[in-house]
Amino acid sequence: MVVDTEVPENVRGVVEFDGWLRPFAHVLSERRYLGDKWYYDITHATTDGSYQSLSKFARDSYKSYGLHADKKTGEIRYKEWAPNAKQAFLIGEFNNWDETSHELKHKDEFGNFSITIPPKSDGSFAIPHDSKLKVMFVKPDGSKIYRLPAWITRATQPDEATAKAYGPGYEARFWNPEKAYEFKNKRPHFNQKVDSLRIYEAHVGISSPEPKVASYKEFTKNVLPRIKYLGYDAIQLMAIMEHAYYASFGYQVTNFFAASSRYGTPEELKELVDTAHGMGILVLLDVVHSHASKNAEDGLNEFDGSDHQYFHSSSSGRGNHPDWDSRLFNYGSFEVQRFLLSNLAFYIDVYQFDGFRFDGVTSMLYLHHGVGESGSFSGDYNEYLSKERSGVDHEAVAYLMLANDLVHELLPQSAITIAEDVSGYPTLCLPRSMGGIGFDYRLGMALPDMWIKLLRERRDEDWDMSFIVHTLTNRRHGEKVVAYCESHDQALVGDKTLAFWLMDAAMYTDMSVLKPATMVIDRGISLHKMIRLLTHSLGGEAFLAFEGNEFGHPEWLDFPNVNNGDSFHYARRQFNLADDPLLRYRMLYDFDAALQHCESHHQWLNTPQAFVSLKHEVDKIIAFERNGVLFIFNFHPTESYTDYRIGVETPGTYKIVLNTDRKEFGGYKRIDENARFHTTDLPWNNRKNFIQVYIPSRVALVCALA
């Protein structure tokens, strides 16, 4: 075996996997070296010089910093990192907000303050459960600032009187229930190599037909059974990390270790996760480590009085996001690495989450954050890997490597990490051992854009089958993609969901089964099913749907804000529409369930890409095979075909396992599902055999060997 000595050993794996990376091997090597160096520094950063695992570092950090009650001794320990502060005092209801009685010990050489509060004379904790508190810092100039502890695990909205007197900022609570929730169910098994991943993206607060903020308990009782019925095997929970501004959709995080109190208590979130596990459903957290809220009094911004503690300084030009009005982390800081890595370990250990969807990865990867002309990507490797052109933030790349190392170390058998990256950064979803960044999946963000572009700009008869297939299959070999037609982004006000693009106002008047379907509704229901099925089967190695869109939710999302009179009318999901047998929403709902269960049985997702045998522009037919399953789509708006030849590789007898034309799915029952298709031993469309099928207009069939 000849070894290519020009390729550094630490990235040899990715270069051998993708030869086009060879000219950039040294750039990739430098980036990996930084991540590996940080890993070494962290795992060797012990007082006695011994080795510690990344897991131990992260776990010891969240168990050390913040407030912790010792059940055995009755003591409460509090530790905070605030290098710019001169003094620190813990104040709250427990000491009548006395600003002198509980001073934290003078900071150590690293800027840490700490205090141990003994129990009361009766042995009870000195700080009552759920009582309010703050940390007060004295700055070098003698002025005082009041903050919520950075590692606080509970933060709540103030009551009306408090908000009127002191402002609307959130309040820190000492969460120490007498009896903590005990998990009853084990994590569901997930094998990265073979198991499918069908993700139901959900937001607890909007998960009710009522115009209000729904609760963890309501989600557990009302929505989890729906997800189970539909056949999804994972939930991606949004807006869990505490955010003072509800309309930010959870993406302006103020308190990273606090599960949002607007939905209920930490124990109730644990019950939600535990109940999902009992149903065999994985639970992923939408984690926001790409930026943080600018809030100071109830967030991390200017926490110790400086603007560069957790973030790049504003004067550096790197401390503020140009579009999001938020602060940007300094990933090169050891203490920031501690904070963010321990945040991941905390949610895995304390709440039993099974993995993470990392928000805003494109913004993290590049100094230009994917904004403006510099943030336009054609796929040229120089845009990612050229030292002169890429603008890559090496420190952010190294942090993402560490984050993936940690999650996979904590959950070696079942970890799931997903990157929200629109840029297509090479090696993002290749293993760390090969020289990649280590994510398991990336979101296929070009797919919903493609569907909306077609619906907005092209007549049905002008749809380009080759363009559709190319977009759905244009992904990096060996780097898994989560395919989706629409996520929460397409549901937000200012955009339109697929159902709205297809049917618009007719959804309010013509969805009743008590009258014949109009042309608009008939087209909309047919294409909604076909688009979801085609994206599901051809677009990636996993699939994601946003709650409500599976049944064609008729309205967008708009959270209460000053522009809508603080209305909750659009901040809800009308599941009642899917439950009504007299409305056609139920048909889309049941089709989605049939689709997910069909994949569960035949498992085409986590397999190699499909072989597309037909993209007929005149007939508007797409046909392909994936993992032995045959998919046939007729997108023609008017033409149906009898005895249409479809090439197949494996000989035998095929049967229909899913048919979009079933009456219960809003179709016309034109297909005989008892039919069997016998192969003819003659080559057709680069396949060894063919079958002949009846395929009506705007219908899709899924077939498997009988």
Q: pLDDT (tens digit, 9 = 90+) per residue, 240-284? A: 999 999 999 999 999 999 999 999 999 999 999 999 999 999 999
Picking from 222, 256, 259, the residue whose alpha carbon sits closest to that of residue 237 is 259
Task: State both tokens at 629.
Answer: 């399953």
**C-alpha to C-alpha distances, 204 to 157, 261, 354, 548, 573, nearest whole angstrom:** 17, 11, 18, 13, 10
Contacts of 388 (CB under 8 A, 6+ apart): none
Contact 146, 121 (CB under 8 A): no
How many other C-beta atoms can be found within 10 angstroms of the C-beta atom of residue 23? Answer: 13
pLDDT band at 537 (very low <50, low <70, confident <90, very high): very high
| Maximum C-alpha span of the chain | 90
With tokens 């539909």, the residue in question is: 230
Mean pLDDT of 206-210: 97
Q: pLDDT (tens digit, 9 = 90+) per residue, 427-483? A: 999 999 999 999 999 999 999 999 999 999 999 999 999 999 999 999 999 999 999
Kindly tell me the burial class for residue 331, based on how many C-beta atoms sit within 10 Å of its own C-beta (0-12, 13-18, 19 or more). Answer: buried
Q: Sheet holding 621-626: strands in order across?
A: 611-616, 621-626, 629-634, 699-705, 653-659, 676-678
**C-alpha to C-alpha distances, 704 to 42, 355, 697, nearest whole angstrom:** 51, 33, 21
Task: State both tokens at 340.
Answer: 């963010």
The model scores a pTM over 0.75:
yes
Single-letter residue type at 226: R
Mark 72-110 as b/e (b = at least 16 C-beta within 10 Å). eebebbbbbbbbbbbbbbbbbebbeeeeeebebeebeee
pLDDT band at 321 (very low <50, low <70, confident <90, very high): very high
pLDDT band at 496 (very low <50, low <70, confident <90, very high): confident
Whole-number Å distance between alpha carbons of 697 and 531: 14
Q: pLDDT (tens digit, 9 = 90+) per residue, 133-147? A: 999 999 999 999 999
Give residue 304's Cα distance to chain centre: 31
All CATH 2.60.40.1180 domain ranges in the chain, comma separated: 611-705
With tokens 């909604």, the residue in question is: 528
Q: pLDDT (tens digit, 9 = 90+) per residue, 630-652? A: 999 999 999 999 999 999 999 99
Catalytic positions are 359, 420
Contact 421, 384 (CB under 8 A): no
Whole-number Å distance between alpha carbons of 187 and 279: 10
For helices 519-538 and 465-473, the axis angle rounded to 10 degrees is: 40
pLDDT band at 4 (very low <50, low <70, confident <90, very high): low
DSSP state of 629: E
Q: Tell me the three state secondary structure of residue 674.
A: coil
What are the φ/ψ torsions at residue 511 (nearest 5 degrees)?
A: -95, 5
Contact 43, 21 (CB under 8 A): no
What is the number of alpha carbons within 13 Å of residue 595 lying toward its C-beta?
Answer: 29
Q: Options 3.50.30.10, 3.90.1150.10, 3.40.50.300, 2.60.40.1180; which CATH number does 611-705 get?
A: 2.60.40.1180
Superfamily of chain region 63-173: Immunoglobulins (2.60.40.10)
Across 500-649, the runs of DSSP E, i.e. the strands, are: 542-546, 611-616, 621-626, 629-634, 641-648
Q: Tell me the three state secondary structure of residue 701.
A: strand
Instruction: Provide long-range contacts, Cβ within 8 A and 24+ apart, for 157-161.
Output: 157/261, 157/262
Contact 134, 169 (CB under 8 A): no
pLDDT exceeds cutoff 60 at 1: no
All CATH 2.60.40.10 domain ranges in the chain, comma separated: 63-173
What is the number of alpha carbons within 13 Å of residue 683 lying toward its C-beta?
Answer: 3
Task: State both tokens at 201.
Answer: 């993206």
Helices (H), ranges, 356-434: 361-365, 382-385, 394-410
Q: pLDDT (tens digit, 9 = 90+) per residue, 413-428? A: 899 999 999 999 999 9
Region label for 566, one of left (φ > 0), alpha (ψ between -120 and 50) or beta (otherwise) = left
Do the strands 76-81 and 66-69 form a parallel or antiparallel pair, or are they unpaired? antiparallel
Contact 70, 77 (CB under 8 A): yes
Contact 320, 382 (CB under 8 A): no
Whole-number Å distance between alpha carbons of 415 and 191: 9
What are the φ/ψ torsions at residue 65 (nearest 5 degrees)?
A: -80, 155
What residues are paired with 329 via a beta bridge?
311
Give residue 356's Cα distance to chain centre: 6
Whole-number Å distance between alpha carbons of 693 and 673: 11
Whole-number Å distance between alpha carbons of 244 and 241: 10
Q: pLDDT (tens digit, 9 = 90+) per residue, 551-609? A: 999 988 999 999 999 999 999 999 999 999 999 999 999 999 999 999 999 999 999 99
What are the φ/ψ torsions at residue 621 (nearest 5 degrees)?
A: -110, 135
Single-letter residue type at 37: K
pLDDT exceeds cutoff 50 at 3: no
Mean pLDDT of 618-624: 98
Q: pLDDT (tens digit, 9 = 90+) per residue, 26-55? A: 999 999 999 999 999 999 877 776 789 999
How many other C-beta atoms can be found within 10 angstroms of the C-beta atom of residue 120? Answer: 12
Query: What mean pLDDT, rounded, does the chain reach?
Result: 95
Whole-number Å distance between alpha carbons of 184 and 277: 9
Contacts of 492 (CB under 8 A, 6+ apart): 249, 556, 557, 558
Cα torsion 513, 519, 525, 526: sign: positive
Whole-number Å distance between alpha carbons of 668 and 594: 17
pLDDT for the residue 2: 42
Mean pLDDT of 317-325: 95
Do the strands 416-419 and 355-358 form a parallel or antiparallel pair, or are they unpaired? parallel
The residue that leads in pLDDT, 336 or 49, is: 336
With tokens 């929505």, the residue in question is: 223
